[in-house]
Amino acid sequence: MSTLRKVNELGQSIWLDNLSRTLLREGGLQNLIEVDGISGVTSNPSIFQKALEDSAYYRDDLARLKATEPDAERRYEALVIPDIQAACDLLQATFEHTHGDDGYVSLEVSPRLAHDSDGTMTAARRLAAAVNRPNLLIKIPATPAGIIAFEQLVSEGYSINITLLFSLRQTVRIFEAYIRGLKQRQAQGGALNNIKTVASLFLSRVDTLVDQRLSTLNSDAAQALQGHAALSIAKLAYQRYLDLFHSPLFAELAAAGARPQYLLWASTGTKNPAYSDVKYLEPLIGKETINTVPDATLSAFRQHGKAASTLSDGIGDAEADYRALETLGLDLNEIGDTLQNDGLKLFADAYEKLLASS
């Protein structure tokens, strides 16, 4: 059995953080589903920018669209929506087998709308209608405007991947917004059992910035904490998840069919070569979670990763590391906000480059 399938048996879904027509048309995604049990796909502007640059399968459609569609955003959507639909179709069996708990594909709204709640909601509704697949997650950044849009869209019954989370505070706010949206929908008489949301917590970028700040402190205590921040935040976020979604606070909504909002580990490719190339996989395997993995990290875990239930191990150490970082003067909430702004800029830059080339 594939090591990745063993992770699935432990209750964690492994999704692919990549999508392109090459993967779709040459059978790469189908093979990952069949052999490794890959059960979802995430995409973003950076991924599609690379896909359009690297894959020849877009050229004819792009030439046709440039001759017939003057709007660059509409050209981009016309190129990628068929890819999203094809991936959804490949994962439809997973979606059905898990009764709608897995088998999803994410499509992000325009980064231009990150601070526009009304625009985000309009785009989300339009994209969901255009893709027209039950296993689509509309991807929305967790900005203040994005949270407003997220809560309203949940109340309308949409399934959402709320993304660009980098701190405990941001994550808990998303959990709370999800519950408010569910309660609004319940009060309106709407069904809760057809809604799926995930909260995408980014990891390696946290360590990159925290390690940079720790390196300026020139102390043994600071050096000892390098590489600890992201895993501490992730493990503590999972404890918050358990405290909220497996408690009487959520029991009434669960009885009405509501699903917990799973944590999704994102940015799980190791950026520091001094760290293990499966650093953000092996210690974070646990029930009711998702890890979306880039190709290189997927390959590394397939070759030498160990599948074991680890997510609830070392919670005391995670709490101690978190407190120690704060004692050294690192404001992890401020760091999370900084990283979210940086992430928005990265996606916006990739999106503008994508539009310029499409």
* pLDDT higher than 80, residue 238: yes
Q: Where are the alpha helices (DSSP H) in the chain?
A: 3-9, 21-25, 28-31, 45-54, 59-68, 72-90, 92-97, 117-131, 144-155, 168-187, 204-215, 220-224, 229-245, 248-255, 295-304, 315-327, 332-357
pTM above 0.85, yes or no: yes
Q: State the pLDDT at residue 218.
A: 87
- pLDDT tens profile 135-164: 999 999 999 999 999 999 999 999 999 999
Condensed to tens digits (0 to 9), the pLDDT of residues 52-71 reads 888 899 999 999 999 999 99
Query: SS3 of 307, please?
Result: coil
Task: Give the span between the Cα atoms of 225 and 220, in whole angstroms.
Answer: 9
Cα separation, 286 vs 310, in Å, equals 6
pLDDT at 267: 96
CA distance 265 to 198: 10
- φ/ψ of residue 138, rounded to 5: -80, 130
pLDDT over threshold 90, residue 39: yes
Tokens 């997927």 sit on residue:
298
C-alpha to C-alpha distances, 166 to 141, 170, 257, 281, nearest whole angstrom? 11, 7, 29, 17
Statement: residue 1 has pLDDT above 80: no
Confidence of residue 358 (pLDDT cuts 50, 70, 90): confident
CB 348 within 8 A of CB 44: no
Q: Which two tokens stand for residue 111?
A: 């980064």
DSSP 109: P
State the total domains in the chain: 1
Nearest partner of 84 among 131, 145, 29, 139, judged by Cα: 131
The question of whether 345 is a catalytic residue gets the answer no
The parent domain of residue 33 ranges over 3-357
Q: What is the CATH number of the domain that holds 210?
A: 3.20.20.70
Among residues 139, 196, 235, 279, which one is catalytic? 139
314's tokens? 């070392």
